[in-house]
């Protein structure tokens, strides 16, 4: 591994962590001596990286610094291309366009050899045969971001209709279905709603009273494999 690759790997290791991590842990992860690790930390700090910490305590990277030019491994490029192609084929037009734009930005800052790898990537993603209603997906995503309640006209597996007011906090993209995880005011519990069973949807002006992150954390602690229950 070259020094540039090692510095990039160190930056990535720090980015993955929100809490300070000891130098010995990072040095072992990167396969370098502790002395080399300290030199690399000093080098990154000299280049402007906002790395806080000290020996024996731990290190943490504050937001706002990237290492130019963008360097990616071949596997990372494959993961980015495959992921963006999956999003383009399996989500709504807005998110698909965002994936293509993100990939174009990455393409613009890659060194020439890596741009060639991106352009010639051969990992393909087939289109879905029965896509979920596209307009609903975009509306649900916006409601989740804004933490707004949704009013749903929902049909269960037997075709019975019900009106629900829910707090959506996650959208799952499964192989054959798209599913909303939400707190249901009528059931006073977490529920999962298949997007293809939503007959009508309204994004309400009311924000739900709890933070999305809190709902997601609580849901993860009580759920296993989400399945439509209504």
Within a domain: residue 68?
Answer: no
Within a domain: residue 66?
Answer: no
Mark whether 153 and 212 lie in a shared domain.
yes
Q: How many domains does the chain have?
A: 3
| Rounded average pLDDT over 189-201 | 94
Q: What is the pLDDT of residues 46-63, one digit of tens each?
A: 877 888 887 778 999 887
Mark whether 107 and 148 lie in a shared domain.
no
Give residue 165's domain range. 134-222
Within a domain: residue 115?
Answer: yes
Q: Does pLDDT of 17 surpass 90?
A: no
| Rounded average pLDDT over 189-203 | 94
Mark whether 95 and 152 lie in a shared domain.
no
For 47, left (φ over 0), alpha (ψ -120 to 50), or beta? alpha
Within a domain: residue 128?
Answer: no
pTM (2 d.p.): 0.64
Mark whether 165 and 202 lie in a shared domain.
yes
- The CATH number that applies at residue 39 is 1.10.10.10
| d(C-alpha 83, C-alpha 123), whole Å | 10
Specify the pLDDT at position 57: 82
Mark whether 210 and 138 lie in a shared domain.
yes
Within a domain: residue 40?
Answer: yes
Within a domain: residue 126?
Answer: no
Within a domain: residue 30?
Answer: yes
Specify the pLDDT at position 49: 81
Mark whether 115 and 139 lie in a shared domain.
no
Residue 68: which pLDDT band, with cuts at 50, 70 and 90?
Answer: low
Last residue of a domain, one of 12, 31, 61: 61
For every residue of 50-78, DSSP letters joined together read -EEEETTTEEEEPSS---SSP---HHHHH
Within a domain: residue 111?
Answer: yes
- The CATH number that applies at residue 176 is 2.30.30
Specify the pLDDT at position 208: 95
Instruction: Show Cβ contacts of residue 14 under 8 Å, excluding neighbours closer than 6 positions.
Output: 21, 26, 51, 59, 60, 61
Residue 66: which pLDDT band, with cuts at 50, 70 and 90?
Answer: low
Mark whether 103 and 180 lie in a shared domain.
no
Cα 57-59-65 angle, rounded to 5 deg? 160
Mark whether 93 and 139 lie in a shared domain.
no
Q: Does pLDDT of 166 surpass 70?
A: yes
Q: What is the pLDDT of residues 127-148, one digit of tens each?
A: 776 655 677 999 999 999 999 9
Residue 1: which pLDDT band, with cuts at 50, 70 and 90?
Answer: low
């Amino acid at each position: 591994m070259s020094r540039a690759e090692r510095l990039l790997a160190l930056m990535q290791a720090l980015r993955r962590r929100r809490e300070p991590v000891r130098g010995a842990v990072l040095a072992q992860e990167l396969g370098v001596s502790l002395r080399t690790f300290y030199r690399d930390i000093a080098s990154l700090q000299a280049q402007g990286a906002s790395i806080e910490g000290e020996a024996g305590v731990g290190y943490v990277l504050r937001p706002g610094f990237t290492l130019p030019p963008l360097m990616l491994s071949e596997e990372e490029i494959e993961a980015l291309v495959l992921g963006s192609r999956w999003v383009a084929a399996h989500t709504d037009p807005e998110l698909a366009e965002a994936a293509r734009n993100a990939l174009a930005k990455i393409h613009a800052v890659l060194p020439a050899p890596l741009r060639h790898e991106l352009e010639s990537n051969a990992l393909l993603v087939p289109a879905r045969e029965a896509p979920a209603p596209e307009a609903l997906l975009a509306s649900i995503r916006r409601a989740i971001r804004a933490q707004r309640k949704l009013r749903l006209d929902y049909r269960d597996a037997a075709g019975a209709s019900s009106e629900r007011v829910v707090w959506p906090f996650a959208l799952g993209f499964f192989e054959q279905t798209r599913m909303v995880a939400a707190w249901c005011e009528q059931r006073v519990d977490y529920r999962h709603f298949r997007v293809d069973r939503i007959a009508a949807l309204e994004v309400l002006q009311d924000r739900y009273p709890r933070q999305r992150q809190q709902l997601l954390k609580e849901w993860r602690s009580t759920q296993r494999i989400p399945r439509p229950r209504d």
